[in-house]
Chain A
Amino acid sequence: MTTVTKKADKIDRLAELMQTTEVTSGASLWREAMRRLRASKMAAIGAVVIAAFVVIALIGPWIAPYAPTAQTWRGDVFPNRGEFVGMRSGNWFGLDHLGRDVFSRWLVGARQTLLVGVVSMLIGLVVGALIGVCSGAAATLGGRAGQRVDTVIMRFTDIMLSLPSLLLAVSVAAVLGQSLTTVMIAVGVVQIPVFARLLRGSMLVQGGSDYVLAAKALGLRKRRIVLTQILPNSLSPVIVQATLSLATAIIEAAALSYLGLGNPDPAIPEWGVMLAQAQRFFDNEPMMAVYPAVGIIITALGFTLLGEAMREALDPKLRG
């Protein structure tokens, strides 16, 4: 490039600079968070793990080589004498104590596990967020009466939080009886105070910010301030928590199943139930416990990774 054209370029650029003040793209914070999320390795690994899990959960029953409940190889295992067959060509994960194909059960069980995780998380999220919004809105805009309402709600959630989560889940399960729905509700109830407190705390922080003050000064109605100003800015931690709590929900559901509060129907295998059943034979056939356990751990890890990556992506301090 000759010096003349280079110079002309510079002048053009200068002229352009003087015309427009800023030349960025008009990207919202959500979009920028997505961009950061896409660039994150942690998010990618988490997403791959979760995707694999979801795919297995969706198509598992179709690709399972055998029916999960068929006791086809009843004669091959002698659980009383501690004789199992282990891995073999027809049964990749071996057989369980009733002579069922563990691999098939594992594939089919993924769906139940996902269902329990998602549904219980949603129960916690929806109910918790509703309580949180009410409490947060009352505290930030409700004046003195609102603060009293907020105090009452928060003391209530404090009580829920102070109970050991498993104990709470067991009590719920004891009241509702033994079923998969019980597990979902029990695990969901445990999450309610977490979401409620989180959203309310986040709203309180945002409620004290200058732009909320500005919205009041503008003369916006209270409902509008909550919906368009406070709430959108308070959601980030809740979204992160939702992802993270999927992991804990799966683990807790497994724990409840392990304690025998899960689905009693043997036709529907679930990783937690499988783990519980494998316990008796752990000395002779540890692999029977390892497969569902590894499934739970890896899935939980996937959700945790994605959650952490989202936390980083949504953190306004990293805005750049």
Chain B
Amino acid sequence: MALLSVDELSVTFTAKGRKDSIAVDGVSFDVAEGQVVGLVGESGCGKSVTSLALMGLLPAKGVRIGGRAVFDGQDLLTMSPQYRRDIRGSQLAMIFQDPLSSLNPVVPIGVQITEILERHRGMKGEAARKEAAHLLDRVGIPDPARRLKEFPHQLSGGMRQRALIAMAVACAPRMLIADEPTTALDVTIQAQILELLKELVDQEGTALLMITHDLGVVAGLCDEVNVLYAGRAVESAGRRDLFTYPTHPYAHGLLGSIPRLDAPRGEPLRPIRGSINDRIAWADGCAFAPRCDRYTMECLTGTPELTEPRAAGHQVRCVNPVLPKSKAEVSA
């Protein structure tokens, strides 16, 4: 039984006098305890909106949310705001991309952490302060007792992200949602943070939903990966399956288009043509068709279904998937 089970989640932004814009168009995935699941895709694929919808952080007005997101037997999308607030922080916590704007700039780090401890764990005074120092120590912030008194702007970027992680894990949540947690950081700092997350998952058995645009981050961290395009998952697979046999033309193209550190110099990149645009909705056919090398007439007859053309558990939303033997042709 999965800890979080998202079923056909859709988010539509509605504004008066404008066409509705579908940000998430039927995303489904499961996250089990102790599992790391990745949502990967480029800007505009709906990965961040998905996380905000799960946390109940979308504005109430001008947004239509559909589908279900069952967390521990209860639907996150329909529960009362009061109940959701209780769950948020204590059982479900989020780490954001920009640590500076997610921390209160005028309140010391220590107060921000003890607040959470007081609210969700009922700790008071000295005990809360001790626990806060312990948490900072846990995420590798040196001299935690002093850092507790400091304000967010006095910390470096990596330090802030650690403080944010400390706040997220303060109540030993059962699940963490990390939205591009390392995008704003330098690569050596990113490595520190990723190792830290990995260790937290290993030691505490926390489930982690990792949202990122970086396929490299996914490859090192995630057990299951969902590749999103224009608001829908186009490929879902275990990381080994996905990276060894990328089957959807988009995932395949994406892997072919990133320069790799370990590739010999001079090997040409195979970019995907064009750029993302929302002029084909999934309802009309495959949204990736305009950029796809393999598109046929069939691509435009309604939304392609998720199938398992290659192996069990490796789901692909494509009528012309890149299968191993044809993969050789393509790369040849």
Contacts and interface: CB of A to CB of B under 8 A. Distances in A.
A7 B297 contact: yes
Given A17-B279, A17-B290, A18-B290, A10 B284 contact: yes
A11 B290 CA distance: 10
Interface residues of B, number: 13
B300 A14 contact: yes
A11 B297 contact: yes
| B-side interface mostly | loop
Given A7-B297, A14-B289, 5 more contacts: A11-B297, A14-B290, A14-B300, A17-B290, A21-B275
Given A18-B274, A21-B274, A7 B280 contact: no
Interface string A1-45: 000000100110010011001000000000000000000000000
A17 B279 CA distance: 9
Most B CB contacts (10 A, CB to CB) among A10, A11, A21 go to A10
B274 A10 contact: no
B285 interface: yes
B182 to A, nearest CB: 25
Nearest to A23: B279
Contacts of B284: 10
**Chain A interface extent, by class:** under 10
Contacts, number: 21
A21 B290 CA distance: 10
Q: Which 6 A-B pairs have the closest CB atoms?
A: A17-B290, A10-B300, A18-B290, A14-B290, A17-B279, A14-B289
Contacts of A21: 274-275
A17 B280 contact: yes
B300 A7 contact: yes
A7 B301 contact: yes
Interface in B291-310: 295, 297, 300-301
Contacts of A11: 297, 300
A11 B284 CA distance: 11
21 contacts: A7-B297, A7-B300, A7-B301, A10-B284, A10-B285, A10-B300, A11-B297, A11-B300, A14-B280, A14-B289, A14-B290, A14-B295, A14-B300, A17-B277, A17-B279, A17-B280, A17-B290, A18-B274, A18-B290, A21-B274, A21-B275
Contacts of B279: 17
A21 B277 CA distance: 9
Interface string B270-287: 000011010110001100
Nearest to B273: A18
Contacts of B301: 7
B280 to A, nearest CB: 7
Nearest to A8: B297
